[in-house]
Structure formats: C-alpha cells, structure tokens
Amino acid sequence: MPQEIYGFVSIIVTIVFIGLAWWSLQSLRFEKIVKKPNSAQAKLLQILLSVVVGYEISRFFLDYLGWSLAFGNMFQ
C-alpha cells in the first residue's frame, strides 16, 4: 500500500475510532465517578478518555492491517 494512501487511511480510521469511543463513553455514568459531572473538567475528561481509547484501538487496527499486508507479501 502506498505511503500516501496508508497515511490517509490512518487519519480516517483514528478519527472514526475516537468518535466511536466518544459515543460509547456517553453511556458511562460519570456522576458516579466525578464530583461534578456537568462541569468543564468532567467534559474534558470524557474527551481525553475518548482520544486515548480511540487512538489505542486505531493503533491496534492499523498494526493488524500492516501485519496482514506484510504477511501477504511473504508469499510473493
């Protein structure tokens, strides 16, 4: 896969997984975890958690994609 395409795919996949992480964290009851669930700090915590979780999942997915492509090239 050309480097330009892989870069574009990486950006799109990372943004999608951050969005999915944000969506899934909306079901978490932050009022049980933080003192003021509607404060700016609590919202920032949600955003940071979404970025961290989404980034890590996208890294796993992209690493898996890279390994799969490298494995396919072994038999050529």
N-terminal to C-terminal alpha carbon distance within the chain: 15
In which domain, by residue range, is 22 found? 3-73
- Segment 23-66, tens digit of pLDDT: 999 898 888 888 888 889 989 999 999 999 999 999 999 999 88
Q: Is 75 helix (H, G, I), strand (E, B) or coil?
A: coil
Q: Is pLDDT larger for residue 18 or for residue 1?
A: 18
Question: How many domains does the chain fold into?
Answer: 1
Distance CA 47, CA 69 (A): 32
Q: Where are the alpha helices (DSSP H) in 1-76?
A: 3-25, 40-73
- How far apart, in Å, are the Cα atoms of 62 and each of 7, 38, 50, 69? 10, 34, 18, 10
Q: Is 52 helix (H, G, I), strand (E, B) or coil?
A: helix
